[in-house]
Amino acid sequence: MENITRRQVLGPLGIVAGSFVLSSCLSKNLASAPDKEKKSDFPWAYTELDPEITAERTYYDCEKGHCMYGVFAPVISQLGCQVKLWLL
C-alpha cells in the first residue's frame, strides 16, 4: 500500500473547492442581468475640481506621503471642502 500524505490529499481538494466557489459566484452574476438601469441613489451631485488648486496641493502632498498620497489627498480634501463633508 502506498503512503499518501496530507499534502497530496488536501491540494486537489482545495482546487476542487475553489473551483466550486468561483463557479457559483460567476453563475449568479451572469444569470441575473438587471432588467432596467437604476438611477443612482448617491446623495451628492457631481462637483468639478479646480485643476490649479489640485495641482498645487498635489505638489506639496507628494512630499508628505509619496505619489499615491500626493494624488489622493488633494482630490479628497478639495471634495470635502466643496461638499461640506468632514470625516474624522
* Tens of pLDDT, residues 18-45: 887 777 666 555 555 555 666 666 666 7
Residue 74 has a CB neighbour count (10 Å cut-off) of 21
Q: Which residues contact 14 (CB under 8 A, 6 or more apart)?
A: none
Confidence of residue 88 (pLDDT cuts 50, 70, 90): very low
50 with 88, same domain: the answer is yes
pLDDT digits (tens, 9 = 90+) for 10-19: 888 888 888 8
Q: Is residue 40 domain-resident? A: no
The pTM assigned to this predicted structure is 0.45
Q: Is residue 38 domain-resident? A: no
Question: Domain span at residue 83?
Answer: 45-88
56 with 79, same domain: the answer is yes
pLDDT digits (tens, 9 = 90+) for 46-67: 888 889 998 998 888 888 878 8
52 with 78, same domain: the answer is yes
50 with 27, same domain: the answer is no
88 with 52, same domain: the answer is yes
Q: Is residue 52 domain-resident? A: yes
Q: Number of structural domains, the chain?
A: 2
